Amino acid sequence: MAGALLNTLRLIRAGFVLAQHGVRFVPNGMPVPLPLKIARAATVPIRIVTAPFRKDEPRATRVASALAELGPSYVKLGQFLATRADVIGPELSADLRHLQDKAEPFSMAEARSAVERALGGKLEDHFVEFGPPVAAASIAQVHKAYVIENGLKKAVAVKILRPNIEKRFYRDLDSYYFAARMIERFYPPARRLKPVAVVDNLKHTTDLEMDLRLEAAAISEMASNITNDEGFRVPEVDWRRTAKRVLTVEWIDGTPISHREILEAKGFDTGALGMTVLRTFLRHAMRDGFFHADMHQGNLFVDDTGKIVAVDFGIMGRLGLAERRFLAEILHGLITRDYYRAAAVHLEAGYVPPHHTVEEFAQAMRAIGEPIHGRTAEEISMADLLGQLFAYTEVFDMQTRPELILLQKSMVIVEGVARDLDPHLNVWIAAEPVAKEWMESNLSVLGRLKGAGRGAETIGDILMRTPGLLQKAEQAIVGFSEMAKSGLRLDDATLENLASRSRRSRAADIALWIAALGILAIALMLYGAR
């Protein structure tokens, strides 16, 4: 019960900060149940009290300012919600896309201490020079340093986790879980959106980001995937100077990809660079099932050879074979106007329940795809089309897929970077060869033979485990047989245990109701805030 009250207080504080900045989290036109309308009337005094404290700032920056004030975990939450226009509405979702993950750097003394704890010894044992932070975000900051390799002085980038960041994040995550469970329990229509699963996804991503050895492994894996690719590379990892809280990689001396004028002055073809950015991302997603999920302009550079270099691999996305086929077929279906095939993929993959027909979903696909034909490249956004596609999830009872949400968010970012390099870039021309290549490789006769080989391996694995499975089945049957003969017995200890659980359940229900009232008050205060 104490945990429920603490989480409620944390959420109330968040509600006041959001109200101060005039943030509204309930989309216009969204129906509000009668109990919430009644509760909203009760929160009028709260809105009156907070009105004088509201900050006068542009609407587009209100959300970013509020989340920055609430702390790093709320910044990460905001980045996640930017992909969920179906939950928070397109207006707020668009505002969140401008959210920048920037923070005040921590001190050089703390950075030195972190390096020495992580790598052992003195900082000078590892680096001949160690400079001040060059970038600081919610989870970590980066320093430029130098090492001696083969007798030569070499520049490296050293990423260090913020002190005590894990404790702060997991405390706030606990309150997110609490709110998500309340929403699922007391507002059934939201269960389809899987709010708890969304928080699960946030936690999983955060767990990965807070172990820098995993980021190093992600860089290494992508380096292996792109060995034969042209026009794109990743930094080299310095494994000797990498630990859970410290990551050391090659320093990238390149031109930020956002500096289009400088790139053109250096003689680089920005149109070709834009095509490379988009095709690289799609190739990683479809071919490898492993993509950089934070490819914004601050994480991309162009080196002197004209190659694009990505940095900051803290957020990565993975797609299984079924998801990759889904993406390739969707893109190919929209490009070729084969809406029936694109719709059939959804049902085959299980994204659309079988009580809907292929023809019905093909009609929805046509509504999305037809308007793009005959329009200029500048008017077509692949990311927006994916967003429209996901907007049909409620109509066709499609369950939320976190991996596809991350893909769409990444597509929005990558498409924006590519269009900044070439405003006339036709995303469909860029995407067509990548989708076609994947389909030929995986859905051709040779591809199907490869798939059959993978299926044979799976069958062989099942056959190898059959004796153990049969033994467990036999044990279960014997157990049920004994139960049938002697009956199901409940001794005094078992009954007392059940009674104790019942008492704890009632106490938990009381706590949940208290917390639910607090959450309703926050929600309705936000509903009325501007």
Distance, in Å, from the CA atom of 258 to the CA atom of 417, rounded to the nearest integer, reads 8
Name beta bridge partners: 149.
152
Burial class (CB in 10 A: 0-12, 13-18, 19+), 37: exposed
* Catalytic choice (86, 294, 312, 422): 294
Distance, in Å, from the CA atom of 199 to the CA atom of 427, rounded to the nearest integer, reads 32
207 among known catalytic residues? no
Distance, in Å, from the CA atom of 523 to the CA atom of 491, rounded to the nearest integer, reads 47
Cα–Cα distances in angstroms (integers) from residue 335 to residues 202, 226, 329, in the given order? 33, 26, 10
Name the residue with tokens 């799976």. 458
Please, are residues 243 and 288 in contact by the beta-carbon 8 Å criterion?
Answer: no
For residue 232, the Cα-to-chain-centroid distance in whole angstroms is: 23
Name the residue with tokens 């157990």. 479
Tokens describing residue 345: 């993929």
> What kind and span of H or E run contains 63?
helix 59-70
Distance, in Å, from the CA atom of 483 to the CA atom of 131, rounded to the nearest integer, reads 71
Distance, in Å, from the CA atom of 378 to the CA atom of 422, rounded to the nearest integer, reads 10
Distance, in Å, from the CA atom of 443 to the CA atom of 344, rounded to the nearest integer, reads 15
Burial class (CB in 10 A: 0-12, 13-18, 19+), 72: buried
Distance, in Å, from the CA atom of 463 to the CA atom of 156, rounded to the nearest integer, reads 50
DSSP code of residue 286: I
231: left (phi over 0), alpha (psi -120 to 50) or beta: left
Q: Identify the sign of the CA torsion 346, 348, 349, 350.
A: positive
N residues, the chain: 530
Please, are residues 387 and 89 in contact by the beta-carbon 8 Å criterion?
Answer: no
Distance, in Å, from the CA atom of 421 to the CA atom of 247, rounded to the nearest integer, reads 30
* Selection from 329, 352, 392 nearest residue 85 by Cα: 392
Name beta bridge partners: 312.
none
**Amino acid (1-letter code) at residue 529:** A
Catalytic residues: 294
